[in-house]
Amino acid sequence: MLGVTIWVGSFFRDPVRVTPTASDIVVAPADGLVTQIAEVAPPPEIAGPDGLNDPLMLRVSIFMSVFDVHINRTPVAGTLRKLVYIPGKFVNADLDKASEENERQHFVVERADGVRIGFTQIAGLVARRILPFVSMGTELSTGQRVGLIRFGSRVDVYLPAGTTPQILLGQRALAGETVIARLGKSEILDGVGQ
């Protein structure tokens, strides 16, 4: 029982993070492993003129194991324009179909310059509860805590056209600290596993 108590306490930890403040950056909303960087259509729940208006966006997926911090943070500063909860299944969050089938919660944050960034909390195989900390219309600062997913899950970030990822597949990210993209940049980032 002592081991379980220590593990649960560790799971709900909420460390202080140092968030970069440059105006063109997007920070990781979750701790975990970058498992996908792909061009996809945004989810229908947050697509369209009142959400993410781009037909195709760059999706960065971060998988959180049961050992990662599960407090999620906003990747950019701005106004929370959309918050949509979708009940669903609990298949492995590392699978691509989890984006469409699992319990999830979508956020759309509009920056002061009108650029909108979307991100989605996705419950996983073990996760059974998504808890929001914010409501629509909330003014958010970069790296601010926005919610929690209990016990293993994934967060997808939807980036607008003209955004270049600053992370690589297989890289580990820290919520509120790791810069995952720069808006308006077009350079390509390469890396070497060592």
Report the catalytic residues: 153
Q: Which residue has the tokens 């593990």?
A: 7
Please enumerate in sequence order all residues whose Cβ is within 8 A of that of 29, keeping only pairs 6 or more positions apart, or say none: 62, 72, 73, 74, 75, 119, 146, 155, 157, 175
Contact 104, 121 (CB under 8 A): yes
Task: For residue 55, give the nearest of 155, 157, 160, 182 by alpha carbon.
Answer: 160
